Chains A and B, each alone.
Chain A
Amino acid sequence: MIRALKLHRIAPGASVQDRGRVGYRAFGVSTGGAADPLALAEGAALLAQSTDCAALELPGSGGVFEATAALRIALTGAPMRVALDGVPLVWNASHAMPAGARLEIGGATSGSYGYLHVGGGFDLPQQLGSRSAHLAAGIGAVVQAGDTLPIAEDRGQAVGFCLPLDNRFDGGILRLIQSFQTDLFEAATRERFTDTPFSRDARANRMGMRLDSEGEGFATSVGLNILSESILPGDIQITGDGTPYLLLWESQTTGGYPRIATVIPADLPRAVQTPAGGVLRFRFVTRDEALEAERKRRDHLRALPKLRTPLVRDPSQIRDLLRYQLISGVTAGDSQDEEE
């Protein structure tokens, strides 16, 4: 039997994502890949499989899914209401999904991007060395209701594990390091930038997010006459009217708007997961502090398989959980209709 996942309903903008493409910058193709790479790694750890496996990225809400064969699944990233054949499932955990079972994933309770992983990974053809849809580049496309996504052979068996849910889903402080255009901005402007609380605008996608604030913008005196230069994920560009945009993994590869600073890689998952209206603040750190944060980030990624623990099944807790989740599950269905 063909191993696949049927999509009966799906959130707008959902797409298959892996770690993206490195090495095509000279051709104008940015890395792309999962908006929250940490969530991708958590899914791989929960299913004890390679971090190269592709998952389904769910922006804001999920959908309704059916397995054509018995599958292992894992749910990571922004926590969403979820039930398998009506029975609530724990988020940030792996589960068995029998053939014919119906998986319903509702809206995110916090954060932005949820991920549905399957044992073996989604088996889409690779283009330029990756299975990721690169929406801005026109490589691949968003998935649609009615699609059936093929799944590669699954050699693993582990299910029923969970990882601690962290707190990166409600905005917070993002650490910055200086970049080559930082000193195009006056010291007073940079200071005001780090003193300002920003709210993530509703206008956000895999390329970047607009940051709103009270008061005047953050324009530089050099205006719009600088040369187009390479862009890194995490760069904060200031457009002509002084509005900051945080550029993400799927951004354009070059750009002519000046960039005030770069968010360090360790804080990009928090940045990406900040929901619309979430509050973000920025703080400059030294290069040494940024390197230390990078070491910790990689240590954490390496430690993920050891951090997973078996899901505890305490019957009394499950009954309570069930009643609570069933009620909220009904609500989730209603709100999803509104969203779609």
Chain B
Amino acid sequence: MTADTTSLFEPVIRPAGLNGVLVSFGDALSEPGNRAALAFAEAVARDGIDGVEDCAPSLVSVFVQFDPLHLGLDALTARLTDLLAERDWYAAPMPDGRRFIRVPTVYGTDLAPQLEEAAQAAGLSVSDAISQLSDARVRVQTIGFAPGQPYLGLLPDAWDIPRQTALTKAVPGGALVVAIRQFVLFSGSSPTGWRHIGQTHLKLFRPASDAPFFLRPGDEVQFVHVTPDELARHANDPDGGAVIEAIR
């Protein structure tokens, strides 16, 4: 499998603005590409290249921010090319310290009004939709867009549904939305083009805390179906009733 995926996409390094480069491990979302992005971002951070200011993985790419007057684009590209050659990044292990987190979630009802519409787009009955979404064990592929906010996947094929053409004006923090075989769990109130199918009480970003970000790339999550009454019991728990265990 690894050999196949490697031959599918040679990593590419491209400038991003004046002070960034993007190292891409795919032009579509894939498990090996995501694995490569997470591991390569760690490797760049560990490498401590003089002039590199920040480094962050997204779904299947790594953004490297640098000082272009201190470190030339060519020199940075050369160093990143060497790093790319060091191993098969598509077969890299997941980050250490991963956790499996079960998050109580209400599907549908007035808390998450687009479940029916999303089920229809996926060609499923509402009850089949709930069981597929609630049974899925998805992984945090990247954190981005807003503080601590995860993209999670991949969902079963049926959920390869497009984004809406129009934006939903606002979903609340803790909203679970779906599109293109992925969930996004919102850290705060936000407009979105994805469909709002579930609601949790999880607080993903806690700015005043010593550990401000609840989820990390590589963590696995299951959004367990509960009733609105059951969810309400977790309203004052920043973890929203989540049950956390280490992945060994």
Contact = CB atoms under 8 A, between A and B. Distances in A.
Interface in A1-53: 22-29
B146 A232 contact: no
B18 A287 contact: yes
Contacts of A23: 53-54
Question: Which bucket holds chain B's interface residue count?
Answer: 35 or more
A127 interface: yes
A291 B69 contact: yes
B241 interface: no
Interface stretch (A92-100, A111-119, A222-230): A222-230
A86 interface: no
A298 B69 contact: yes
Greatest chain A CB density within 10 A among B18, B61, B142, B205 is at B18
A179 B58 contact: no
B77 interface: no
Contacts of A178: 15
Contact of B145 (A24, A127, A139, A254): A254
A136 B190 CA distance: 9
Given A127-B208, A234-B17, A291-B69, A137 B54 contact: no
B143 A28 contact: yes
Contacts of B20: 230, 232
Interface in B111-132: none
Nearest to A252: B145
Given A28-B147, A230-B56, A127 B19 contact: no
Contacts of B53: 22-23
A253 B17 contact: no
B145 A179 contact: no
Nearest to A295: B69
B57 interface: yes
Given A230-B16, A230-B63, A295-B69, 11 more contacts: A26-B55, A138-B205, A139-B147, A180-B14, A228-B145, A230-B56, A232-B65, A235-B17, A287-B18, A294-B18, A294-B69
Which 3 interchain pairs have the tightest Cβ spacing? A230-B63, A254-B144, A262-B17
Interface stretch (B21-29, B102-110, B218-226, B232-240): B21-29
A169 to B, nearest CB: 23
Interface string B157-183: 000001101000000000000000000
Interface of A: 22-29, 127-128, 136-139, 177-180, 224, 227-230, 232, 234-235, 240, 252-256, 262, 264-265, 287, 290-291, 294-295, 298
21 contacts: A22-B53, A26-B143, A28-B143, A28-B145, A28-B148, A28-B205, A127-B208, A137-B147, A179-B16, A180-B16, A224-B162, A227-B28, A228-B58, A228-B144, A230-B22, A230-B56, A252-B145, A253-B56, A253-B145, A262-B16, A287-B18
Contacts of B212: 27, 128
Contact of A287 (B59, B65, B73, B142): B73
A240 B167 CA distance: 10
B58 A254 contact: yes
Contacts of B144: 28, 228, 230, 252-254
B18 A291 contact: yes
Given A25-B63, A127-B208, A291-B68, A136 B146 contact: yes
A298 B165 CA distance: 43
Contact of B142 (A128, A254, A290): A254
A262 B15 CA distance: 11
A114 to B, nearest CB: 27
B97 interface: no
A329 B73 CA distance: 51
